[in-house]
Amino acid sequence: MLLAILSIVMVVLFTAFIVLKTYKRKEKLTGMPGMMIAMTIGMMSSLVLGVQLGIVFPRDLTVPSIAAILFGLGAGYFTGKPISILASLDGMLAGIMGGMMGAMLGVMIGPSYIMMIFVDILFIFIFSVAFQLSNQEANTSDKTNKNGIGMPFIGGILTVAFGIVAVGATLFYQFQPNDTSAIKSQDSQREQANSVQENSGYQIVSVDVKSDGFSQENIKVKAGVPTKINFIKHSGYTCIRSVQSKDLGIDVYLEKGDNFITLKDLKPGTYNFNCGMYMYYGTITVV
C-alpha cells in the first residue's frame, strides 16, 4: 500500500514537471513531436496511476477508472494545449485509454510488488524518452558519450532486465517445490477439523475459483436448510477478486484459500451471482 501511494505521488510530480517544461518550450514543439509528447504523457500517466489505484481499491473499478481517466485527460490536455488543439485531443484520448487499461490491470493483478515496481520503471523510462524528445526539438538535448549511450538507452536496458528477472522470479515462486508440505498438511488437518465443527448443521457447497471462471456455474441446494458456499481461491493469479449477487445482497472480497458465504434458509428459486468485474456469472438454484 505504501509503495502504491509513493508511486502515485511520483506520477503526479513527474507529470507536472514535464507539463511545465512543455509550456516553457511551446514555441519550439510543433507538429508530430508535440503530438507524440502529449500522447505519451496522457497515456503513461493515466496507465500507471490506474494500475496503482486499482491495487489500492481492489474491490471496485469505478474509483480507479474515473480517477485515472480524469488525470490522464488533464495531463494530455495541458501538455498538448501550448502545442495545438490536435495535440490536446491526442493527449486526452490517450489519457482515457490508459486510465481504463491501467485500472483494469491493477484490479485484475491485485497486490503485487513486482508489478508495482515494474510499471514505475516503465513509467520513468518512457518519460525519459519523451523528455529527450522535448530537449531535442528545443535544441537543448543532453550530450551523450562517444558511444551514443544516454539515459533513455540505459533506462531501456534496465527496464528489459527487470522485466526478465520479474517474470523469472514469479514463475520460480509459482512452481517451486513445497519443502514444508508435511507441516502444511498438519495445519490443514487441524483447520478441517475446526471447519467441520463450525459448519455443523449447514449444507456445504464448494466452488473453485479459477482463472477462467467458477468450477460450478449452476449451484444446486435444498430449500429450508442453512447453506454455506465456499469459494476456494487456489491462486492469487486470477482476475476474480470478489463475488457479488444483487439477488442475495452479497458482495464478498475473496482471499486466497477458503471463503465461506453463509446464506439463510432460501426460498425455492434461482439466484444470480457474478464476479466483481462482471466477466463471469453463475446461478444458485434452490429446490
The tens digit of pLDDT for each residue in 83-127 reads 888 889 999 999 999 999 998 888 777 667 777 888 888 888 888
Instruction: Give the pLDDT confidence of 22-48 residue by residue, as tens digits.
Output: 777 777 777 787 788 889 999 999 999
Is residue 270 a contact partner of residue 285, using CB atoms and an 8 Å limit?
yes
Residue reference for cell 442475495? 248
CATH architecture of the domain covering 200-286: Sandwich (2.60)
What pTM, to 2 d.p., does this model score? 0.64
Instruction: Give the pLDDT confidence of 182-239 residue by residue, as tens digits.
Output: 334 444 444 444 444 456 678 888 998 887 788 888 888 888 888 889 998 876 666 6
CA 6, CA 13: separation in Å to the nearest integer? Answer: 11
Is residue 151 a contact partner of residue 128, using CB atoms and an 8 Å limit?
yes
Residue 144: per-residue pLDDT: 46
Helix (H, G, I), strand (E, B), or coil: what is residue 230? strand
Residue 56: per-residue pLDDT: 81
Domain chopping of the chain, boundaries = 2-138+151-173, 200-286
78 pLDDT higher than 80: yes
Using 50, 70 and 90 to split pLDDT, how confident is the model at 8? confident
Instruction: Give the pLDDT confidence of 82-95 residue by residue, as tens digits.
Output: 888 888 999 999 99
Residue 66: per-residue pLDDT: 92
Residue reference for cell 508535440? 34
262 pLDDT higher than 50: yes
For 97-122, the DSSP string reads HHHHHHHHHHHHH-S-HHHHHHHHHH
Sheet bearing 242-245, strands edge to edge: 218-221, 281-286, 269-275, 242-245, 250-253
